[in-house]
């Protein structure tokens, strides 16, 4: 064999590049197979606080791992969704979809979920007691604030009681209010009423110019004239003034006139006493005249003596 000639490949040998590709493909198949199991997201390692979220309790029992409590935040659509959201993966029994065989790859391998060693499914309220589920975890919708339980064994309930109910939130602080000011014991003085019934600054009617508003003024005097008397005797009441004399101002009719007040006229006077006296005098004169006429006729009718 001369130097520099290419070496012949041995029969049955695999090139180095092909071997590397084969190893990478096998690793990818293993990863894909591992992905068939439901992966669990990270979750809180404690019960949910408040009334939101679903608390999930998983009791591994004889499988080892103790009892784990997690929180599935929000409102999971099913019990399986709550189990996954609380941080646990699960697989089903082969050819029995919905029947959980493994949680977090336990038991390993899947034992087919016999009645003496299977994952039992439970419900509870916060601070209440466990009750065995009557429906599968895939078709049950847990309410926020409740507890989901899983226990491996022969159908026993989880080894711990459901977590207690969360403490109620503290009441909001009361708003500070300032006390209303107390009214003063003495009421404010009332405004002084205006003098008289007219507005301030007015002048009295009939008063002299420049007189102060509200000062009383006496009403102007009124004069009355007695009717003429006849020749006969006249009966008088003794209270009427003499003929032609001015009547004294009547203080009972007008009195003091307030500023701006309307002055009422005095009531009319009827001199009925004077009229009655005149009528009686006329009747007396007529009677005397008639009597004289009758006496004269009687005398004329008598024969002379």
Interval 31-59: pLDDT, tens: 333 333 444 444 446 899 878 899 999 99
**φ, ψ for residue 19 (rounded to 5)?**
-65, -40
Q: What's the mean pLDDT when you consider all of the chain? A: 72
- Closest Cα to residue 24, out of 32, 35, 13? 32
Q: What is the pLDDT of residue 174?
A: 82
pLDDT at 124 over 50: yes
Asked if 69 contacts 45 with a C-beta cutoff of 8 angstroms, the reply is yes
Mean pLDDT of the region 246-275: 55
- In this predicted structure, what is the pLDDT of residue 106? 96
Tokens of 16: 């180095």
Lowest mean pLDDT among 29-33, 45-49, 153-157, 214-218: 29-33
CA distance 27 to 236: 155
What's the rounded Cα separation, in Å, for the pair 222 and 256? 15
The pLDDT of residue 120 is 97
Q: How confident is the model at residue 213 (pLDDT cuts 50, 70, 90)?
A: very low
The mean pLDDT of 18-25, rounded to a whole number, is 49
Question: Which of these, 268, 265, 269, lies nearest to 237 by C-alpha position?
Answer: 269
Beta strands in 199-238 (DSSP E): 217-218
Contacts of 243 (CB under 8 A, 6+ apart): 225, 226, 228, 229
Averaged pLDDT for residues 126-131? 96
pLDDT tens for each residue of 77-114: 999 999 999 999 999 999 998 999 999 999 999 999 99
Is residue 47 a contact partner of residue 69, using CB atoms and an 8 Å limit?
Answer: yes
Query: Does the predicted TM-score (pTM) go above 0.85?
Result: no
């Amino acid at each position: 064999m001369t130097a520099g000639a290419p070496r012949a490949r041995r029969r049955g040998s695999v090139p180095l590049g092909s071997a590397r590709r084969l190893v990478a493909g096998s690793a990818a198949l293993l990863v894909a197979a591992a992905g068939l199991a439901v992966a669990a997201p990270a979750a809180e390692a404690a019960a949910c606080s408040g009334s939101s979220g679903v608390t999930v309790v998983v009791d591994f029992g004889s499988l080892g791992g103790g009892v784990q409590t997690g929180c599935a935040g929000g409102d999971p659509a099913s019990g399986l969704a709550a189990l996954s959201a609380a941080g646990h993966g699960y697989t089903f029994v082969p050819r029995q979809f919905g029947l959980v065989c493994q949680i977090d790859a336990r038991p390993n391998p899947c034992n087919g979920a016999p009645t003496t060693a299977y994952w039992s499914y439970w419900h509870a309220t916060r601070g209440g007691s466990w009750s065995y589920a009557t429906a599968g975890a895939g078709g049950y919708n847990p309410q926020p604030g409740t507890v989901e339980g899983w226990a491996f064994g022969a159908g026993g309930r989880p080894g711990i009681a459901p977590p207690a109910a969360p403490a109620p939130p503290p009441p909001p602080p009361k708003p500070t209010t300032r006390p209303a000011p107390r009214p003063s014991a003495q009421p404010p003085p009332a405004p002084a009423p205006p003098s008289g019934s007219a507005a301030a600054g007015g002048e009295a009617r009939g008063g002299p110019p420049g007189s102060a508003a509200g000062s009383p003024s006496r009403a102007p005097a009124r004069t009355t004239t007695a009717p003429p008397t006849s020749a006969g005797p006249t009966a008088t009441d003794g209270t009427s003034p003499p003929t032609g004399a001015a009547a004294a101002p009547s203080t009972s009719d007008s009195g003091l006139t307030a500023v701006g007040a309307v002055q009422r006229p005095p009531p009319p006077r009827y001199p009925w006493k004077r009229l009655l006296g005149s009528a009686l005098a006329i009747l007396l004169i007529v009677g005397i005249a008639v009597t004289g006429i009758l006496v004269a006729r009687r005398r004329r009718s008598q024969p002379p003596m």
